[in-house]
Chains A and B, each alone.
Chain A
Amino acid sequence: MTLDDRKRPRTDMKTEVLDKSIVLCRACDLVVRKRALPTGVRALCPRCHTNLYDTPYCSVNGMLALCITALVLYFPANFFPVLEMHFLGSIRTTTIAGGAMAVASQGYWVVGIAVLVAAVIAPGLLIVSILTQVLIVKYRLRVPFFRNIYKKLLKQHSLLAQLSMLEIYMISIFVSVFQLSDYTDLYFGIGTFCFTMLFIMVIFMQREYDIEHMWSVLDE
């Protein structure tokens, strides 16, 4: 009993010091000594060149403003048509979800769901998730209930970020325009404008967002 009690605190002390000074590369498990970095510089793994850590820069108020703007743009971007086509006197329009439905109604529901998830659902959830996280960090982190929600949101974050493909959808709008412009006249509407702005906001949001930093808020 005495031997055990005397040993425990000692090993804990040793590992405690270790924990703060080193970082493990997540791609190759190399032990790397942590050093202070100037702003805007990221540390790379010396062995496999995977991104290890960068200086946490994450202004909560800036994030909040970006999230709210993105959320406001989300609705017109999805409600108004992203593309308008004039053909033989008739006007055809489509929203993002309309495109997904057009494919699904032909029996290709796997494709329809993929389009809907990548361009509508995941971006929407991502914006709401980050907004909730920022609000919790700002006002309610001490409350255990909100702390739990915060943890749950952080766990889902990387999946949502991977599923959200606004930038690819942006390019696909241009590809469609080029493909069809030989046959007919295409027009951008208010929906295209809102979608472009939404895409830009989400890009900035994801640049500003740092998952490691969000997790480390819990340690304080």
Chain B
Amino acid sequence: MSKLSRPPQGETLGLTNCPTCKYLCHLEQGNCPRCGQAVQSRDRTSVQKSWALLITAAILLFPANLYPITIMTSQGQVRQDTIFSGINHLVHLDLLPIAIILFTASILVPMLKIFGLALYLTAISYRLPISKKTLMAGFHIIEWIGRWSMLDLFVISITAALINMGQIWDAKPAPAATAFALVILLTQLAAKVLDTRLLWDRLESKDDTN
């Protein structure tokens, strides 16, 4: 496939969408005539910004999962739970649906998000044997599902506010909660800053059936 068969892109026509209001702007104008935002065809630094945020998130994923996220006191007995042991505890209590919801929101989604974004960013810089369509579909899913990780933090805040009866029954957040909140924030930012058009500037490979 040569350059000739490539579908027409806005960049080749000297046109681009305003990043703020999506108005169709001419690149030589410099600023969007409707909202005044500076326009540029591609944000090439977005790949580095996205990597930086993503790597920080990936590092924080370790304390978020290894340290306890809640401390529960029940009749003088103290029980510390990590994200995983908390979910495991729910399975033993026969609360399987809740365990599945929390497993998805707190373990599956953050890991898929970090793995998926890393794959997308790698595909911008290197040729990967994955079609761009699949990558883009994955990106849209990540964008949509990413916020659901907040579920666990909401539950912790409700539980901590209701259960505060000292030695009898008490629930408190533990250090992993902060790390987990930062993982959510950083991964959401990493997806938001990325200019997805960069992936589509790569020439079509044989894996793409357009």
Contact = CB atoms under 8 A, between A and B. Distances in A.
Q: Do A and B come from one complex?
A: yes
Contact of B157 (A85, A111, A151): A111
A131 interface: no
Given A31-B10, A114-B181, A215-B21, A179 B165 contact: no
Interface in B42-96: 90, 93, 95
Nearest to B157: A99
Contacts of A48: 132-133, 136, 200
Interface residues of B, number: 68
A102 B161 contact: yes
Contact of A114 (B150, B159, B199): B150
Given A30-B8, A103-B156, A179 B161 contact: no
Contact of A103 (B101, B139, B151, B160): B160
B102 A111 contact: no
A180 interface: yes
Interface in B156-181: 156-165, 168-169, 172-173, 177-178, 181
Contact of A110 (B20, B41, B93, B178): B178
Contacts, number: 181
A110 B93 CA distance: 30
A180 B159 contact: yes
A15 B15 CA distance: 10
A94 B102 contact: no
B70 to A, nearest CB: 11
Interface in A177-201: 178-180, 182-183
A118 B200 contact: no
Interface string B183-199: 01100100010001101
A99 B169 contact: no
Given A26-B17, A83-B162, A175-B98, A110 B181 contact: yes
Interface of A: 15, 18-19, 22-24, 26-31, 47-50, 82-83, 85, 87-88, 90, 92-94, 98-103, 106, 108, 110-112, 114-115, 118-119, 151, 154-155, 162, 165, 168-169, 171-173, 175-176, 178-180, 182-183, 212, 215, 218-219
Interface of B: 7-11, 13, 15-17, 20-24, 26, 34-37, 41, 90, 93, 95, 97-98, 101-102, 132-133, 136-137, 139-140, 147-148, 150-151, 153-165, 168-169, 172-173, 177-178, 181-182, 184-185, 188, 192, 196-197, 199-201, 210
